[in-house]
Amino acid sequence: MTHVFLLLVYLGTGETRKLTSGDMYFQDINECLYFASRVSKQYGNYKHNDYVNAKDRVTAYCIPKYINIENVRVY
């Protein structure tokens, strides 16, 4: 068992918000945050928020998890 960081990616806002990815684990918080940043900016939803449909807005962030490293792929 070890601590890692899980990247969670949500699509949509409000009641339409749904988890689209929750299976990418990273050993290093900086690697996880890099991918969270890149995924959430793919539509430019922070710079041009009004131009992106609410159902297409991406939110991504990392949370710490305690997992069995033998059962999960860790990047």
Note the pLDDT tens digit of each residue in 46-60. 555 667 777 778 899
pTM passes above 0.75: yes
Question: Cα dist. 35→8, 47, 50, 60 in Å?
Answer: 10, 18, 23, 8
Note the pLDDT tens digit of each residue in 61-70. 999 999 998 9
Domains in the chain: boundaries: 2-67
3-state secondary structure labels for all residues of the chain: CEEEEEEEEEECCHHHCEEEEEEEEECCHHHHHHHHHHHHCCCCCCCCHHHCCHHHCEEEEEEEEEECCCCCCEC
| pLDDT value of residue 52 | 72
